[in-house]
Amino acid sequence: MAKTAGKKSVTRTGKASAKAPRRARQSAAKAAPPASQRVDFFKLVPKPRFVGKPVKRKEDVRLITGAGHYVDDLRLADMLHVEILRSPHAHARIVSMEVEEARKASGVVGVFAYKEISSLCGDVPLAHPGIPDLKVPHHPVLADGEVNFVGEPAAAVVAESRYAARDAVDLIRVEYEPLPAVVDPEKALAPDAPKVHKELADNLSFSWEVKGGDLDEAFKKADRIIQQRVRSQRLIPCALETRGVIAQYLTGEEQLTVWTSTQIPHILRTQLSGMLKLPESKVRVVAPEVGGGFGSKLNVYAEEGLLSALARLVAPRPVKWIETRRENMAATTHGRDQIGELSIAACADGTVLGVKHDCIADIGAYHQLFTAIIPTLTGLMLAGSYRFPAARTTLKGVFTNKMPTDAYRGAGRPEATFIIERIMDLVAAEFNLDPVEVRRKNFARKFPFSTPTGLAYDTGDYEKALNQALKLADYQGRRARQAKARDEGRLVGIGLSTYVEICSMGPSKGMAAGGWESATVRVSPTGSVEVLTGTCAHGQGQETVFAQITADVLGIEMDQVKVQRGDTGNVPWGVGTFGSRATAVGGTAVFEAARRVLEKMKKVAAAALGASAAQAARVQIKNGKFWAGKKSLSFAEVAFQAHRGLVIPEGETPGLEATYFFEPGNFTFPFGAHICQVEVDRDTGEVSIQGYWAVDDCGKPMNPLLIDGQVHGGIAQGLGQALYEEAVYDESGQLLTGTLMDYAVPKATHMPWLHCERTETPTDVNPLGVKGVGEAGTIGSTPAIVNAVIDALRPLGIKHLDMPLRPEKVWRAIKKAAAAP
């Protein structure tokens, strides 16, 4: 199915604008092995003992008891400590920097600025986004004469202790000449706006467009054209573990090792090799435990290059830098920050004919790895789960004197989903229709489904998920009770969102770099099993899922399987963990590698048991043993024979391991329906969530516990965006929400009880049938909650409010509505 989807999409979207980057538009690709030759997991293992079961996470015992090791837990002999002097200005010229006093301070080994580092470490890199005329400014790891956002690294102190380093930072005297800062992306586009980068002509980093279908026709045929401006505010990812780096360069061995809190050790290794001009063979990157990333560790940071360069300067002593929370909030990538002007062509029966979306993305002061790519995803996903024939997004990426934006849980899909789900409610309100009916009217129903933006959705049944959610929430009864509450003057609202999103990133053709994933399954002579994966779990639970898959394929227990990830020194190669790719792409690689090991073990078993050709063709595993005819060998005995080397079957070599690189043929497109009920306090503007119901479909469930965990956490983050979170810079570019006392991430007490269910619509993009669920909760929840609040305020004539829906904003809207004639 997916393959045809691909073909259709390619021809149908021939009309779509060629300006779209190639990487993003190619959703359909040649699928690796044709589905007919493919062995599906559930065919090979019809009755899995682990896959699909609510198996508890293998990693939790050590993480919950504090026995895991994060970067900060690593203490190497002779280690030095680094603290960074950061810009207090949003935009300033560095007139002079006096470091003598700091250099002389007790315990200080050295103080380094741009001129000491620049020959060792090049600019912070970005993935090629395939956008023509992209303007990329000079982005050094330490400021080169000018700082462009509050928190930008300007100098580094290396000292015997962290305290000495931190004290010495205060002794560096920098004379700054403040320059005018530009903070508002719309103002930044004005011809007379201050320029973030003097070497560039203006603040427009790039323009981009994606379109498909006949927009003129759609807007001509519409009964009404609805205009709306929507904002997805700037968010701070706030992973529980801040970033941290240790780097060590062994001069004799010519070996750089970098321990860092990252989602992408292999990509980082390649990029660091470029920055440092060292061949990759001399660079090893290790991600120890990583305490959350949400996209903010899907990057190559100045500090990673800086520490590597410092390690060479003080070699062979290791250097360590641990980010403080304040640094994390100011100088780790932010998310979202898009303004969209929408025009919606709609019919009175609720049918949407077309959408125009002019988007301004505030990308901050520089390009990080995927800064330019993220807002293009908003454009690509604009069709949502609907079949309107025409859509267009124009995008302007604009420099401002702020921290760069990049991936944050959902990365472009939450923005797109927010837009399209608000659109459905705007249309419903415009024509006084039930938002459920408007959605039904517009749902895509035939799969594979080609969007006007050039994507090919693999499988889906949007109405099924919606119907189940409506039942779960008792939607009809709820609407009746809402009517009663409204009669009593209460502001009760019900909101929906029927999202679809992109996971399993992705086919290499659709990605900025390779979209495959690798796995090695290796069995030792005593039968212990290692799985090496190129993915890099940082909370998702792949250690558990990959053990489930491997144990089921090999017919062993889960605790016989050890999953290793995050070390480029032992994992052959990999892409990493983001975009809900780890299980769908990385898990498939594990499955394929395990399957190959199994095949070889069957052959070894047959050879060792002296089986006939007929018996050898029908070796079976039962009760943990390999059976050929009436004779059997245990798993460990077969493993031993494979290594002992005396009964190696024809055409095989000794040893027992297989490596597989899986290239998916397409993305996958999970979906779901979220429903939320809120009540707004008329006097204070406070929103309280009275109920939350979610039905998500992520294809074949590998482990329901993990899915629930992902959905719950995702909803929490989506709720944060809807109601509380916003990175606020003042007009001079100071970050006002620079601590957790001012930036409101949702806490346990902010969370409602969540009622979650699932539908199961497998994908055929991979042999596991699995789609991905890492971002679903975040994507589905934000619009459901906002739609509920706006629904509550509808009797007052309020049609839209920008997020976050903090009490004062809601209170002001209520007051304004009351004062209106």
Partner 1 sequence: MIPVAFDYHRPRTLEEAVDILRQYGDEAKVLAGGHSLIPALKLRLAAPKVVVDISRLPGLSEVRRSGSGLSIGAGVTHHQLMVDPLIAKLCPLIARTAPEIGDVQVRNLGTLVGSICHADPAADWPAPLLALEAQVVIVGPEGERTLHINEFIEGMLTTRLAGHEIVREVVIPRAYPASCAYKKIRQSASGFAIAGVAVQLEKKNRKCSSIAIGVTGVAQRAFRARLIEKSLQGAELDEKTIAQAARQVTEEVNDFLSDLHASAAYRAALAQVLVQRAVLAALAA
Furthest-apart CA atoms within the chain: distance in Å? 93
Does the footprint of partner 1 cover residue 742 (CB under 8 A)? yes
Q: Which amino acid is at 7?
A: K
User: Which of 246, 285, 676 lies closest to 469, judged by CA?
Assistant: 676
- Provide the minimum distance between the beta carbon of 100 and partner 1 in the complex, in angstroms, as a whole number: 21
Q: Find the shortest distance in angstroms from Cβ 739 to partner 1.
A: 8
What length is written for the chain? 821
DSSP 392: E
**Residues 796, 802, 806, 812, CA torsion sign:** negative
What is the nearest approach in angstroms of partner 1 to the Cβ of residue 681? Answer: 9
List the one residue from 160, 184, 202, 686 that touches partner 1 (CB under 8 A): 686
The verdict on 749 binding partner 1 (CB under 8 A) reads: yes
Site string for partner 1, 67-86 (x = CB under 8 A): ----------------x---
Spatial distance between the Cα atoms of 92 and 734, rounded to a whole number of angstroms: 13
326 binds partner 1 (CB under 8 A): yes
* Tokens found for residue 68: 């895991």
Query: Does the footprint of partner 1 cover residue 817 (CB under 8 A)?
Result: no
- Least distance in angstroms from the C-beta of 326 to partner 1: 7
- Cβ at position 747, least distance to partner 1 in Å: 7
Q: Which of 750, 794, 799, 800 binds partner 1 (CB under 8 A)?
A: 750
Judged by CB under 8 A, which of 747, 760, 797, 817 binds partner 1?
Answer: 747
Contact track, partner 1, 753-792, x by CB under 8 A: ----------------------------------------
Size of the site for partner 1 (CB under 8 A): 31
E strands, 67-203, in order? 80-86, 92-98, 108-112, 146-147, 153-159, 173-178
Nearer residue to partner 1 within complex by CB, 464 or 806: 806
Residue whose token pair is 């560096």: 172
Q: H/E/C letters for each residue in 254-266?
A: CEEEEEECCCCHH
Stretch that binds partner 1, among 194-202, 282-290, 331-339, 808-816 (CB under 8 A): 808-816
Q: From CA 295, how far away is CA 413, in angstroms rounded?
A: 13
Instruction: Give the Å distances, CA to CA, from 211 to 18, 222, 357, 380.
Output: 9, 18, 10, 9
Told to check if 812 binds partner 1 by CB under 8 A, we report yes
**Residues in 109-168 at the binding interface with partner 1, rule: CB under 8 A:** 162-163, 166-167
Residue 292 CA to residue 537 CA, distance in Å, equals 9
Measured CA to CA, the distance from residue 551 to residue 738 in angstroms comes to 46
Cβ-contact 142, 153 below 8 angstroms: yes
H/E run at residue 311: helix 302-313
**Which one of 257, 737, 759, 763 is in contact with partner 1 (CB under 8 A)?**
737
Instruction: Output 611 or 723, the one with its CB closest to partner 1.
Output: 723
Identified binder of partner 1 from the candidate list 741, 753, 819, 821, rule CB under 8 A: 741
Minimum separation from the CB atom of position 97 to partner 1 (A): 20
User: Which residue number, 558 or 740, has a Cβ lying nearer to partner 1?
Assistant: 740
**Does the protein bind partner 1 through residue 187 (CB under 8 A)?**
no
The values of phi and psi at residue 29, to 5°, are: -145, 175
Residue closer to partner 1 by CB (options 344, 814) is 814
Output 243 or 387, the one with its CB closest to partner 1: 243
**Residue number, 170 or 216, with CB nearest to partner 1:** 170
Q: Which of 67, 483, 728, 818: binder of partner 1 (CB under 8 A)? A: 728
- In our burial notation (b when 16+ CB lie closer than 10 A, e otherwise), range 628-639 reads beeebbebbbbb
Q: Which of 739, 816, 817, 818 binds partner 1 (CB under 8 A)?
A: 739
Euclidean distance between CA atoms 152 and 349, whole angstroms: 52
Q: Can you tell me the distance from the alpha carbon of 785 to that of 336, in angstroms, rounded to the nearest whole number?
A: 18
Q: Which SS3 state, helix, strand or coil, does residue 469 take?
A: helix
Following CA atoms 461, 462, 465, 467 in sequence, which dihedral angle do they give, to the nearest 10 degrees?
-110
**Binding residues for partner 1 (CB under 8 A):** 83, 162-163, 166-167, 170, 324, 326, 683-684, 686, 723-724, 728, 736-737, 739-745, 747, 749-750, 806-808, 811-812
